[in-house]
A and B are shown apart, each in its own frame.
Chain A
Amino acid sequence: MIETHNLSKNYNAKNAVNNVTLTIQEGEIFGFLGANGAGKTTTVKMLTGMIFPTSGSAHVAGFDVVQRGIEVKKRIGYVPENGALFESLTGWEYLQFTADLHHLDPHVSLKRIEEFLTLFGLWDERNGRIQQYSKGMKQKILIAAALIHNPQVLFLDEPLNGLDANAALVFKELLKKLSGQKKTVFFTSHVLDVVEKLCTRIVVIHEGIIIADGTAAQIAQSTGQATLEEAFHTLTGVRDARESAQDFLEALGRE
């Protein structure tokens, strides 16, 4: 469903993503991990057709992301990390706007918007401007907009940001069910517990290069650690966490 071959992106002299080669199957919940600035969002942006690769190729849902970008975008849903929305629209209007861009039948979109807003507990706020929404409410709108056209592939960049525990639980269950329907989920998050429990396969990227690939257990085993969190730290940590915390404490103690 998602295939990349030597995918790279350079910004001036810096390699943000370097020769990433991946094959993600239909129905997979794929966890993509990395520290800040590791190249996660850049990879997602290339796969969603937001930016073009410097070299290499990528196919999503059978289409080349550069040559057939529009076809790719018709088949994907994306929850971006930055959460940009047209905030002077109401929640209802934004979902209607997204449905229109995806050519959804007006009757279908009307019903789906109603259902989504109700399921997310936003029905009473549907006519309020997004500007007035809380962070969690905005995130729900982003998720609803990503799902509204029933995409084959979902790209989720920190999708749980701002969601309350109940909404997060529902969303995680939904992802499992979507995976059961052969939909592919490309999941990026810093919350390793969630990734560990949810994802069927995990890839760790560090400074633009893939450094680990497997299930959570396989990655932990390969680094000789007990948990994914410890394995992640071993793979990507530049300093010992305890030492860093101690330095912070000392800085607080200084007048």
Chain B
Amino acid sequence: MIQKIFSFYGIDFRQWKTLTRLSFQLANRQVPASSFHAQSTRTNNALIFSLIMYFALGLMMLAIVFALPDLFWSSFVIYSYVLLMIGFLMLVEFGSIIVAPDDYNILSYQPVSSRTYFAAKTTFALVYVLLYTAVLGLPSSIAYGFKNVDGHTSLAIHCTVALAALIGFFITGIGIALAMIILYTSALRFVRYRRLKNILSYVQAMLSFLIMGSYALLPSYLEKLSARLPAQKPWWIFLLPPSWTSTLISLASGTVTFSTLAAGFLSLAAPVLLIPLAASKISLSYAENLSAALNETEKKEKDKTGDAKKTTWRLKRFEDRAIITLIRAQFKRDMRFRFSILAIIPMTILYGWMGLRGKGAMFNPFHPAWRSLASSSLLYLAIIIFPVSLVEAVSRSESYLASWIFFSTPVDKVRLTLSIKDFLYKFFIVPYIVCLGIMFSFFFDTMLHVVMHTAILLLISRLFLQLFFILRPQLPFSLPQHVGDRVTVLGSLAFFLPLIMLIGLMILIFFVYTNLVYYALSFTLLTSLTLLMDALLNQRVKKKMSRLEFAG
């Protein structure tokens, strides 16, 4: 029966099954790293971790369900969030979920029609989006079942509202997924593939900033928001798609008016209308264009590089020069690498701003105001996260197999690894901490305190950088990139880092900053520790590098 339906629509059922299975296999497997992590098939923990993260965000949205009494407004805010989150997901994962340039190279000579390819890709994309939408929306949907619905006590009404909420989530997820397919593929007509990827990396940074910021700030504004939202919905609100799905909940609760009916109809009609538009975009011939666009761009970039004058770096060690050349090139051309580094900027701004709001002062460890500690602590957390994030970023690359060069040339691998650490410290961490120092200068009483605090933070961040290198010494860009790797590493440290940060702050407040003698003692101790760590790191890297083999 199913085969007949597929056949009626010109879709090859067996190929559809094979291609859909392939999409799931590719999405759920990590490509093994070169020699360093050679292993057979295993599931992608990053996907599971990512789903747990989305579920946690879904739990956070419960606050909105209960804080905003109006069904329409609460669901409007929630669906807007879901729209942003799924849109963000599609932006990040477009290449793997929808059309990958590799598809064309591998599938274009196989007897697969565009229609079958589209059906398989759509199936996978829908399941993928629905999976994320489900974990994001399930807690709120259940909560809507328990929410007070205009005094109704009927179980049927509560169940209908919960079901409508869940349907609303799915419609929102599917709608934004289709819209993103159309937007992304249309944009490629006007912007080159690699340039679009670059632009998207900044859009991603902005969106993550927006999402993180709103999650952090929304709880404190919910009360005010609740008081400000009008009972009578303004007409323009119905121009926004989340309002259409919100009316589904209103309809389920018994609010049937012309506007709710019309908006409810629109919410169902919009995804249906988007399907044919998206369908024209997902095809093997489109994958061909994408592949061709990628090759064309690469050729152009190669030509440009050939003409460019090479920068001469006046560094004595070959390894140092190699590291600078590599990191500069990666920063210029590798979107993920650039994004990993630049992500610290919105994070710092957000955490800094959170530290400033409330009583309008940043936490000063010399004169601690405990009320501002909680919000300012996030900024100190960023200081610890930054080195971890940097070490992860310089270890991974799309072109990780090119690390054979380190094994076939007389390069000093120990020096090379240590050069990365020095480079990261000098060119990323020191400027970052100095910028924070400038920020502190607006809030601390004296410049002496600013200098003292900045100096201690510089030493601590160096210690952390050394520690992560001791734990995971790696040659530069020698590990493959996987979706969610960085999140997984940071997530696994999430339980320890805040604890370390709090203990560290307490030591600073109650011991180090109490008088100059203690400060001098601590400073000397930390400096000695960094020197000791340098020696330890040297030993550790030597040991690790002497055993390292390339088997890419």
Q: Which of B24-32, B222-230, B461-469, B524-532 contacts A (4 or more CB under 8 A)?
A: B24-32
Q: Are B288 and A88 in contact (CB under 8 A)?
A: no
Interface-facing stretch out of A98-106, A163-171, A188-196, A236-244: A98-106
Interface hits, A79-136 → B, CB 8 Å:
80, 82, 84-90, 93, 97-98, 100-103, 127-129, 131-132
Q: Assuming A93-B25, A100-B15, A101-B15, is B30 touching A88 (CB within 8 A)?
A: yes
* Given A82-B105, A127-B40, A89:B31 Cβ within 8 A: no
Alpha-carbon gap, A80 to B113, bound state (A): 20
- B415-444 CB mask vs A (1 if < 8 Å, else 0) is 000000000000000000000000000000
- Say which residue of A73, A82, A89 sits within 8 Å of B111 (CB atoms): A73
Among residues of A, the one whose C-beta sits closest to the C-beta of B284 is A50
A88 to B26, CA, bound (A): 6
Q: Note all chain A residues with C-beta closer than 8 A to B113.
A: 70
- Partner of A50 from B22, B102, B108, B551 at Cβ < 8 Å: B108
- A60: min CB distance to chain B, Å: 11
Q: A84-B105, A84-B106, A102-B111 are in contact. Are A90 and B32 (CB under 8 A)?
A: no
Pair A101/B31 contact, Cβ less than 8 Å:
no
Residues of B within 8 A of A84 (CB): 102, 105-106
A76: which B residues are within 8 A, CB to CB? 109
CB <8 Å contact, B111 and A74: yes
CB distance from B20 to the nearest CB of A (A): 11
Partner of B109, one of A50, A88, A129: A50
A51 touches B31 (CB 8 A): no
Q: Mark B14-43, 1 if CB is under 8 A from A, else 0.
A: 110111001001100111100000101100
Q: Known: A97-B18, A101-B15, A101-B112. Contact between A85 and B31, CB under 8 A?
A: no
Given contacts A49-B109, A51-B288, A84-B102, contact A90 B41 (CB under 8 A): yes
How many of chain A's residues touch chain B, expressed as a range? 20 to 34
Complex Cα gap A74–B15 (Å): 13
Specify which chain A residues have a CB less than 8 angstroms from the CB of B551 in the assembled complex.
Answer: 132
Q: Is B110 positioned at the interface, with any CB of A under 8 Å from its CB?
A: yes
Which chain B residue shows the least CB distance to A89? Answer: B25
Return the chain A residue nearest B28 by Cβ.
A88
**Pick the contact of A103 from B14, B29, B41 — CB < 8 Å?**
B14
Across the interface, A73 reaches (CB within 8 A) one of B29, B41, B110, B288, namely B110
A-B contacts, 6 listed (Cβ < 8 Å): A50-B288, A84-B102, A88-B30, A98-B110, A101-B110, A129-B40
The 10 closest A-B pairs by CB, nearest first: A84-B105, A73-B111, A100-B18, A50-B108, A88-B29, A48-B109, A78-B109, A74-B111, A88-B31, A101-B110
